[in-house]
Amino acid sequence: MNQKDILQYIRPYTVPHLGRSTIQIIDSFLPYAALWALMILSVKAGFPYWSTLLLVPLAAVFLVRIFIIFHDCCHQNYFKSQRANRIVGTIFGILTFTPYESWSADHITHHATVANLDQRGVGDVWTMTVKEYLEAPRARRLAYRLVRNPFVMFGLGPIWVFMIAQRFFPKTAGTREKVGVIITNLGLLALLAISYVTIGLKTFLIIQLPVMYVAGAMGIWLFYVQHQFDPTHWYPEKEWDYLAASLKGSSYYKLPKALQWMSGNIGLHHVHHINPRIPNYYLQPCLDNTPILQEVPAITLWQSFKTVKMNLWDEEKQKLVSFRSLKAVA
């Protein structure tokens, strides 16, 4: 099947279902709100702080699901109405510290340039080729090694991405994107103000910051493994093809069912890239009923942990390699 045939075949899965979307909002937001209420009660009752922190990972899971809904709204696939997508996306963007308009613009660029060696740098994980790395100045090589260090990417990454970087306009932001960042920041200020006069600013921060941090780390991991895996593929501009980039440059992250539910099916990333207008709840049915999508090699949870060692794209070997492999080159 060629690209046109595949897109035609899976078209029925691109029609959002209001009932499914509504139920998913309910089963993601209400548990998140309930866990928040329990953590507030825990703090106000004077329980040890560690007992409150026990609820943080579970709250973070539901915040990840809220982000998946936000992500779908950015693709205009969660509701038939663009206005509904924008409203829900903006609200859930505030809850996840992510501006709807600017993130949407970068993410759409990411979809249009995925696995394109000559169009890297927007909405993706910083990836250098072996040649680029070896020819780079010492300071740039050091910066790259720091960014690719797991403790930096997944430890400091959530703080930088969600709490700092997304408070500012992207360099290429247009008026709509700038307004979107301002709206998100004002929304966060409103949350702080409401918290100040209700539960107290300290209570809000000692709950929100750990939840946001853990959810951010989960989100960065999922985003990382979606395109940094073995065997992924990158193509020069002249060889780049949308179908090949989607099927071979995006992972089929086959998680246990519970984890797949928690992550909103986003592990079926090759399906998502084939047609980003498919809502997350239709990704699995689309995969189950489309044989060509089942031919993509799956990576398991255990296999995915090995991806943190793969840091550079080797254009000769056509694969990701580790920093350690450069000793052999030297």
pLDDT tens, per residue, the chain with 330 residues: 677 788 889 999 999 999 999 999 999 999 999 999 999 999 999 999 999 999 999 999 999 999 999 999 999 999 999 999 999 999 999 999 999 999 999 999 999 999 999 999 888 999 999 999 999 999 999 999 999 999 999 999 999 999 999 999 887 889 999 999 999 999 999 999 999 999 999 999 999 999 999 999 999 999 999 999 989 999 999 999 999 999 999 999 999 999 999 999 999 999 999 999 999 999 999 999 999 999 999 999 999 999 999 999 999 999 999 998 887 655
What pLDDT does 171 receive?
Answer: 79
| 136 DSSP 8-state letter | S
Pairing of strands 128-129, 312-314: parallel
What pLDDT does 69 receive?
Answer: 98
Distance CA 69, CA 78 (A): 7
Q: Where are the domains of the chain?
A: 3-329
Instruction: Locate the DSSP E strands across 20-129.
Output: 128-129
Task: Look up tokens 């969600």; give the residue.
Answer: 162
Helix then strand count (H, E) for the chain reads 19, 5
Would you say the pTM of this structure is higher than 0.85? yes
**Exposure of 160 in the CB half-sphere (CA atoms within 13 A):** 9
What pLDDT does 121 receive?
Answer: 84
* Degrees to nearest 5, angle at CA 106 with 104 and 109: 105
